[in-house]
Structure 1
Amino acid sequence: MSIEIESEDVIRLILQFLKENKFDHALSTLEEETSITLNTMDSKDAFVQDIVQGRWDTVLKQVAKLKIAPRKLLDLYEQVVLELVEMREISAARTLLRQTEPMEILKNQHPERYLHLEHVMSRTIFDTKDAYPHGMTKEKRRQIIAQALTDEVTVVQPSRLLSLLDQCAKWQQHQGLLPPGTEFDAFKDSATIQTEQEDAFASKQYSKIKFPGTGTYAECTAFSPNGQYLVTGSVDGFIEIWNYLNGKLRKDLKYQAENSLMAMDESVICLNFSKDTELLASGSTDGKIAIWKVQSGYCQRRFSPAHSQGVTSVCFNKDGSQILSGSYDQTIKIHGTRSGKALKEFKGHTSFVNSVLYSTDNLHIFSGSSDGTVKVWNIDTETCLHTIECGSTNHPLLAVQSLVLLPNVTDQVLICNKSNTLSILCGDGTISKRFSHNIKSGSDFVAAAISPQGELVYGLGEDYELYCFNASTGILVGNLKIADTEAIGLAGHPFSNVLASNDDAGNIYLLKA
């Protein structure tokens, strides 16, 4: 569900804020620049009483700041002239009649009414029957004018702008856009609205997403950089965005509320958000890549195909102008998101490329392959700088399942390969740390994740056992049996102790500390 707010209403909220805080110069400047008036008053009752009691000096001052229909404004000025004449304030009545814009309009458009006022003013005695139509009195005329003018304006509750901002923040928390306890800062963008949490083992399942039907499950999951979205790509080609706090589909996105989901022709096996969370890239088993507008669900660009075989991994560069991809066809490519063309190609792996990442400075590329190696590439020259063999003494080349860039450090990558050991690779091609659960077989890692501050390392075993290691010491902090199904993937929230894990039975388990 989405609503549209008129830009004029937004300006009026700002005008009211300026008025309440006595920023008179800023108020008049904004009204002049935009040609938009506030058209509100503090109290309709007080305004009506001023008219009924004939306090015309107060009424005219208020009306001067309001946008009133010309017809009603003429009626008001006509009544004021008549009452000034009745009080024998002939000089004031003459000035109002001959030197004000509404009376000039009356003279041009309704000359008979204007001449009637001149006639009444010229007489030495004020005659009510001559001044007002048959059956009309001064009191009745005031009531009619009061009703007509109050229909033109609205009363706005004090501090309306701040109240709406407060309601907006509460609604976002209710929808899961802001985690509970988040300190809301209206001058930060959504990507920086976050709570600082100390890293802790996410060992408690608090929700579960279950895909309907049989044979339908999520092939991949990802959290957005701003922490608001959990996205899934399914075996049947659908891409869905979820509220990770309650495990429900995000219906605040209009296209999802209307059941018009983002979708690809074949299974979606990789997803990645742009750094500002505005774009989402998806790759499928038929070698295609699509780039979507997250807020609208609109497909901005398709690479069809991007590779000759399935796209296993995608990654945006810092400004979202390029997309990096790896494929079953053993190649790595960089594509221009605006041009829709392949810009660079990197060859050297001898098996599937399962994971690709940009370095922190976007000058290098990390790639992990089923050939058991991780390679570091120079983007400019398209040459391989380092090749790291991932394995053990008995098994020197074990397939690399995934790569995860470590937060808060430069160019350090967590390597998950088909073994009982996770490794941290530095940009110079050296392994700095290893983490192992020391189980000989049956629990090789299939996926990995990092805690928000980088103090904990998670590894997900093929037996669906989750292992948590201290990143500094390498010590096993704890482990957790998530389910008895076959594990597929693991995703970590960017700044909360939350994990999402998907299996082949159509479940996504949501865990928190």
Structure 2
Amino acid sequence: MSQFFKAKHTNHTLEIKSDDILRLIGAHLTEQGHHHTARTLQQETKVGLAASFVKDALPQWIQTGQWDAVLTALEALDPQRNPHVPALQAQAYVCTILELADQGEWDVAYATYRCVQPFLHEQSIPDTELGTTTTWGRLVEQKLAALAAVRQTNPHAHVPYQYYEGGSLKASRERLAELIEDWVPSHPRQRLPMLLQQAVQWQSHTGMLPQTKQYDDDDDNKNETKRKKRKKQFDLVLGSVRGEVVAVDDLDQYVPNEMEPIPQDVYSTISFGKKATCEAAVFTPDGANLITGSSDGLIEIWDGRQQYSKLNIQDYEYQKEDKLMGHDVAVTALAISSIGKYLASGAVDGTVVLWSLRTGSSLEKISLVGKESVISLCFRLDSDRHLLVASGSVVREYNIKELKLDGQGSRTKFKAHCAKEFLGHTSYITSCLYISDDEEMSVVTSSGDGTVRIWNQSTGESVNILQPRDHSAVGQSMVVNTFTDGTDTMPVITVIPLQNKKLLIVPRSTVAFAVTLEGTVEQRFVTPTVMVAATVSSSQHTLYAVQENGECAVFHVKTGELVSSIRDFGTQGSRLKEGQGAEISAMLYHPYKHILGAFSNDKRQSKGKLVLWK
């Protein structure tokens, strides 16, 4: 097998290691329960997994001394992909050997040591007392000799000082558990199927995937009687169309309601505490969970295996013990890092907290100047160490540093500092996001002052000011040199990034716009009544825009065509009668499934429900 697979689009080439393909296949086999096949693949290819499926269970196994299970899980990891694996294996072997000797199992302890002796002598560690370097093998020999000397006179004597790292058996196990948390990533569920589905969506978007439609055999001859229409079928496995091919090369001919199902039925309804309303929601990057923040200050993780209707207590045991993440006041904004490791939450009192999703523990707390409510949060896609925080009319970028508290990095502390401020809006911020323009990173913000601003992320300087108006036509520029509040100013609800360096600007108006980063209008989306919330599908083919009357308009992004509508969208979960929908506050879309979500903090809404459609 070649070392790299190359995928090329325009002027860019993406190199994918063949080992990573094997890792994805091995992970999928393990996830489906085909453990024997996965082990055979690993033995024949010598390629291990990049992450662990049992990371959440590893600390518990360590705390209870189930070293056979721990070593088996570490053995499946690939040291070439994760350089920390040999060190973790060495320390797990050391713990196993020392605990066996402490329990009086000297024969088993020495037999285990002889099996791994060469490996342990290859793993060096600093000797903090002497200021030199030793190996795990030499350290084990010294500790076993010290224990043997003590136990010769008294078989029940305590272990020597510093026999266990940290001074006790419990401390030694906790130290290794902390290293596992820091150094072993957790494998996302359904990674291979998700990538395949996204690849199909991308090929459909770029026109590489053949599309078929219903057509007439004798469509050109208008005088003759038309023959019966036939529908062709595309074979995804063979990559061909059964029958005569009808090629569709232009995305303008794409028909959303044929290629991408439009949600029409309620899939699930999530209820919150008494008198509590949903204030923020976000899907995890793998789509396995839905995270919500509510007006009672709670942050909860909902399980996709149960249609997001119940809390995920299987993967997040702290929720089972009612140890929920949260604030003392209403949660108003959420953002999750690209790999799903960290969660940032903002509250109405101007505080932002960085959380570890795996443990539910607070890593860092940021208190904003002015104590204004946090409106929007956003992590950089290529880094979980850069976070945008919008409150009032200001957007701040925080750099998050991970500080090691000891030489071996078993304990860490997070510290956030404000790196820059983006100043210029004259009213409240409604959204903030990062966009990459090949050569540099930019920040895009929208505001109630009716503008969208594009900033240079490095300098914090404003690059462009865009001001959408109802009469902005296709081909026109939205750029304004000097912004002044006018009578026709429309507050911008949100800005959504699109592919090919474009933005979808949604004002509180009857018209939304697709524009380039330079501000040129490329498409208009017109609704009968004013839009109050919007989102796009994961393929970015379809725009969903909810209006004041609760009706959800469905547009084809490329053509701007209104292709469908969901009439009772705003009435679901409310106490109001049909046609009197509670105003939707925000919408969200699943990363790779056709699941559309919406919620409202309208006080007339029953129990502040979040409704998912499919």
Compute the TM-score of the two structures, normalised by the length of structure 2: 0.53
Deviates more, 1:276-285 or 1:364-373: 276-285
Contact 1:288 1:306 in 2 (8 A): no
Change over 3 Å in CA distance of 1:8–1:390 after alignment to 2 = same
Shift of 1:184: 5.3
Alpha-carbon distance in structure 1 between the residues aligned to 2:589 and 2:386: 24
Shift of 1:299: 1.1
Alpha-carbon distance in structure 1 between the residues aligned to 2:311 and 2:554: 29
Q: How does 1:300-379 map to 2 (within 5 A)?
A: 300-305=363-368, 308-317=371-380, 318-328=382-392, 330-338=393-401, 339-361=415-437, 363-379=441-457
Does residue 212 in structure 1 map to residue 276 in structure 2? no
Alignment match of 2:321 (pick from 258, 275, 279): 258
Change over 3 Å in CA distance of 1:213–1:14 after alignment to 2 = closer
Q: How does 1:239-258 map to 2 (within 5 A)?
A: 239-244=299-304, 245-252=307-314, 253-258=316-321
Alpha-carbon distance in structure 2 between the residues aligned to 1:15 and 1:454: 39
Alpha-carbon distance in structure 1 between the residues aligned to 2:365 and 2:93: 41
- What residue number does 1:188 align with? none
Does residue 232 in structure 1 map to residue 330 in structure 2? no
Letter of the 2:594 counterpart: N
Count of aligned residue pairs for this structure pair: 356
Letter of the 2:611 counterpart: Y
Alpha-carbon distance in structure 2 between the residues aligned to 1:496 and 1:410: 22
Letter of the 1:228 counterpart: A
Unaligned runs of 5+ in 2: 1-53, 77-88, 97-103, 111-151, 153-186, 202-258, 402-414, 472-485, 572-580
Alignment match of 2:535 (pick from 428, 431, 449): 449
Does residue 491 in structure 1 map to residue 583 in structure 2? no
Alpha-carbon distance in structure 1 between the residues aligned to 2:554 and 2:70: 51
Alpha-carbon distance in structure 1 between the residues aligned to 2:72 and 2:466: 59
Q: CA RMSD in A?
A: 3.5
Shift of 1:451: 0.9
Change over 3 Å in CA distance of 1:293–1:14 after alignment to 2 = closer
Q: Deviations over 1:416-460 (max 9, x none)?
A: 2111222223222222212112x1x4xx22221111111111112
Alpha-carbon distance in structure 1 between the residues aligned to 2:358 and 2:75: 30
Change over 3 Å in CA distance of 1:70–1:230 after alignment to 2 = closer
Contact 1:492 1:498 in 2 (8 A): yes
Alignment match of 2:262 (pick from 177, 192, 201): 201
Q: Deviations over 1:253-304 (max 9, x none)?
A: 1221111111113221111111111111111121111111111111111111
Shift of 1:507: 0.9
Shift of 1:413: 2.1
Contact 1:401 1:447 in 2 (8 A): yes
- Please identify the structure whose Cα radius of gyration is greater: 1
Unaligned runs of 5+ in 1: 18-29, 38-66, 74-108, 110-171, 186-190
- What residue number does 1:461 align with? 547
Contact 1:287 1:311 in 2 (8 A): yes
Shift of 1:487: 1.4
Contact 2:342 2:354 in 1 (8 A): yes
Alpha-carbon distance in structure 2 between the residues aligned to 1:449 and 1:319: 24
Percent of residue pairs identical? 28
- What residue number does 2:461 align with? 383
- Flag the structure with more relative contact order, 1 or 2, with Cα contacts below 8 A and sequence separation at least 6: 1
Change over 3 Å in CA distance of 1:411–1:285 after alignment to 2 = farther
Shift of 1:378: 0.9
SS at match of 1:249: coil
SS at match of 2:319: helix
Alignment match of 1:9 (pick from 56, 59, 68): 68
Alpha-carbon distance in structure 1 between the residues aligned to 2:274 and 2:555: 36
SS at match of 1:429: coil
Does residue 476 in structure 1 map to residue 562 in structure 2? yes
Shift of 1:474: 0.9
Change over 3 Å in CA distance of 1:458–1:316 after alignment to 2 = same
Shift of 1:410: 3.8
- What residue number does 1:398 align with? 490
Alpha-carbon distance in structure 2 between the residues aligned to 1:9 and 1:193: 35
Alignment match of 1:299 (pick from 362, 368, 379): 362
Alpha-carbon distance in structure 2 between the residues aligned to 1:274 and 1:8: 32
Alpha-carbon distance in structure 2 between the residues aligned to 1:12 and 1:384: 53
Q: How does 1:412-431 map to 2 (within 5 A)?
A: 412-431=502-521
Contact 1:331 1:347 in 2 (8 A): yes
Shift of 1:226: 2.0
SS at match of 2:514: strand
Contact 1:307 1:327 in 2 (8 A): no
- What residue number does 1:121 align with? none
Shift of 1:5: 3.3
Does residue 287 in structure 1 map to residue 379 in structure 2? no
Alpha-carbon distance in structure 2 between the residues aligned to 1:397 and 1:259: 46
Shift of 1:461: 1.8
SS at match of 1:313: strand
SS at match of 2:416: coil
Shift of 1:15: 11
Does residue 433 in structure 1 map to residue 494 in structure 2? no
Contact 2:448 2:490 in 1 (8 A): yes
- What residue number does 1:163 align with? none
